[in-house]
Amino acid sequence: MKPAEFYQRDHDRHPAAYTPGYKTSVARSPRLALISLQQSASEITGPVFGHDDLGELDHDLIRNYASDGDPIGERIILHGRVLDENARPVPNTLLEVWQANSGGRYRHRNDTYLAPVDPNFGGCGRTMTDAQGYYFFRTVKPGAYPWRNNVNSWRPAHIHVSVFGTSFSQRLITQLYFEGDPMIPLCPIVQTIADPDAIDQLTAKLDMNATIPLDSVAYRFDIVLRGRRSTLFENRLEGN
Amino acid sequence: MGQSLEYLKETPSQTAGPYVHIGLAPGAAGFDIYDQELGKDIIGPHAKGERIRVEGLVIDGTGNPIKDVMLETWQANADGNYAHPESGPVEDGFRGWGRIITDFKTGEWGFDTIKPGAVMGRDGRMMAPHISLWIVARGINIGLNTRLYFDDETEANAADPVLNLIEWENRRPTLVAKRTERDGRPVYRFDIRIQGEDETVFFDI
């Protein structure tokens, strides 16, 4: 059996493009339907990265921008596996994360929130999954921050996650939230997702077994990418 | 009780937000942290083929350029091969993937690459040369996929199986970049309209 197309994306689990509660989506959403493609080589291939692309501290946000000490904030480990919908690990795939500091301030020239930047915190990291699809980062837990949607809109604490998989059709950017955060149900961006179970899938769980005593609290966040069909009878994908 | 099918469900998408650059292009956010930022060199030093530049805007439903967008590009080499184990071979250093940030003031974006070759499509039908694009930004809940074709490939475009899948023929030109020249170099202009008149075709891939 030869692997063929990736399973069709289930758009009922994803947010729609037009979600007026999240105001920016109103003018940034197509009005016409997406055109569905049967996949070709252009969709089932995607960029390949190697460990040579990364630096030694890229996965350690506590140390990768520190100049004269550690960043201020709750020390956490973020770890999990990248799997496909068939529950197979996705090995050697690139994960990138970015986040605000513990006060909810981003190190970005366009962020003008009054909470200060942390001189020892950059807020980005990247790593590759291992042969079992496993990954981990070390960071500080980000703070909530206000944003101009409604006048009193606040984002729950979150970490942005970007993942590649093995094909351009698996490319995904999402956000992870933290178990128990009372701002999750209030957030217009979270609520672009209609299915409560899908929101729960974005909520990292406190993981006491992975917590390092007297050092860092751990959160577990598994990521699922689209699975791939096995071709049982024929493979006309590449012109046979 | 019947058998149950046990599949996991794909992790839902969320918008990349306004500060996507911190994670994916920290130099654009205003700080240097990585030894090498990824996606700046699409083709490497040994790529065969015609050197081209691609430029454009991403325009929202009010007609204004989006200034905080990030695009990723994915393309074959001049022979129509992708830098991937299920395709190839490609020249040393050819990744075929790029990450493009818009100018924060104007929304203009651009990248240097080579014009890709035609790629074998499904059922043995050749696809016209094209570059796949993936667009994320604040306000975009799930990345938008589209394709860039070239206006000097009239014949190949007319036979392209994906373009021909678009039943509204007047929408096909939204995927075709226009060739111009600057200082003797080919430049393809490709404006992407997210919404409204001449809305660009987006694909569910």
Q: Which residues of A196-230 are buried (b: 16+ CB within 10 A; e: fewer)?
A: eebbebbbbeebeebeeeeebebbbbbbbbbbbee
ipTM score here?
0.96
Averaged pLDDT for residues A193-222 = 98
**b/e A147-180 (16+ beta carbons within 10 angstroms → b):** bebeeebbbbbbbbbbbbbbbbbbbbbbbbbbee
Contact B62 A36 (CB under 8 A): no
**Four-residue CA torsion sign, A87, A89, A90, A94:** positive
Task: Give A123's contacts in chain B (Cβ within 8 Å).
Answer: 22-23
What are the pLDDT digits (tens) for A63-94?
Answer: 999 999 999 999 999 999 999 999 999 999 99
Radius of gyration of chain A (CA): 19
Q: Write out chain B residues lying below 8 Å of A148, CB-based.
A: none
Give A185 to chain B, closest Cα distance, Å: 15
Cα separation, B106 vs B133, whole angstroms? 20
pLDDT at residue B135 tops 90: yes
CA distance to partner chain A, nearest, from residue B105 (Å): 11
Average pLDDT over residues A15-22: 98
What pLDDT is recorded for position A239?
Answer: 45
Q: Which residues 138-157 of A have a C-beta within 8 angstroms of B?
A: none
Q: How many CA atoms lie within 13 A of A102 on its CB side?
A: 16
Amino acid A236: pLDDT: 58
Residue B7 CA to residue A173 CA, distance in Å, equals 21
Which positions ≥6 away from B143 have C-beta within 8 Å? A171, A172, A173, B13, B16, B134, B135, B136
CB contact under 8 A, B141 and A192: yes
Cα dihedral A181, A185, A187, A192 in deg (nearest 10):
130
Average pLDDT over residues A214-233: 92
Mean pLDDT across the stretch B106-115? Answer: 98
> The tokens of B196 are what?
């409204």
Cβ–Cβ of A199/B132 closer than 8 Å? no
Report whether the peptide linkage leading into residue B89 is cis, meaning its omega lies within 30 degrees of zero. yes
In this complex, the residue of B22, B61, B84 whose CB is nearest that of residue A46 is B84
d(CA A129, CA A92) in angstroms, rounded, equals 5
Give residue-wise pLDDT tens across range B145-185: 999 999 999 999 999 999 999 999 999 999 999 999 999 99
Residues 82-101 of B with CB under 8 A from A: 82-87, 95-97
What is the average pLDDT value for chain B, to the nearest integer?
96
Quick one: which of B147, B197, B201, B155 has its CA closest to B177? B147
Using the beta-carbon criterion (under 8 Å), do B19 and A111 form an inter-chain contact? yes
Average pLDDT over residues A206-215: 98
Q: Which of B13, B141, B201 sits opposite A172 (nearest CB)?
A: B13
Average pLDDT over residues A103-131: 96
Q: What integer is the mean pLDDT of A55-62? A: 97
| Residues of A that are catalytic | 106, 145, 155, 158, 160
Residue A193 three-state SS: coil
Query: Which chain A residues are closer than 8 Å to B123 by Cβ?
Result: 236, 239
Q: Do B122 and A126 touch (CB under 8 A)?
A: no
Q: Check if B124 contacts A (Cβ < 8 Å).
A: yes
Q: Residue A238 above 70 pLDDT? A: no
Only one residue has tokens 């000097």, namely: B152
Mapped onto helix, strand or coil, the DSSP state of residue B108 is coil
Pair B116, B134: CB distance under 8 Å: no
Q: CA-to-CA distance for B143 and A17, rounded, in angstroms?
A: 9
Burial A87-109 (b: 16+ CB within 10 A, else e): eebbebbbbbbbbbbbbbbbbbe
Cα B71–Cα A142–Cα A160 angle in degrees, nearest 5: 20
Q: How many CB atoms lie within 10 A of CB A51?
A: 8
Contacts of A54 (CB under 8 A, 6+ apart): A126, A127, A128
Across residues B36-44, what is the average pLDDT? 96
Express as a percent the part of chain A with pLDDT over 90: 92
pTM of the model: 0.96
- pLDDT the model gives residue B123: 83
Q: Is A235 exposed, middle or buried (0-12, 13-18, 19+ CB in 10 A)?
A: middle
